[in-house]
Amino acid sequence: MAAGEAEDHSALFICDIDHFKKFNDNYGHQVGDQVLRLVGGILRSTLKGQDIPCRYGGEEFAMILPHTRLKDAAKVADAIRLAVERKRIVRKSTGEAISRVTMSFGVAEFTLGEPGSDLIERADRALYKAKGTGRNRVCLGDPEVMTKTQSSPPELQHAVAAAS
Active site residues: 59
108 - beta bridge partners?
A: 12
Per DSSP, the residues of 95-145 read --EEEE--EEEEEEE--TT--HHHHHHHHHHHHHHHHHTTSSSEEESSTT-
Q: How far is it, in rounded angstroms, from Cα 135 to Cα 164?
A: 24
Q: Shortest CA distance to 13 belongs to which of 89, 111, 108?
A: 108
Which amino acid type is present at position 67? Answer: H
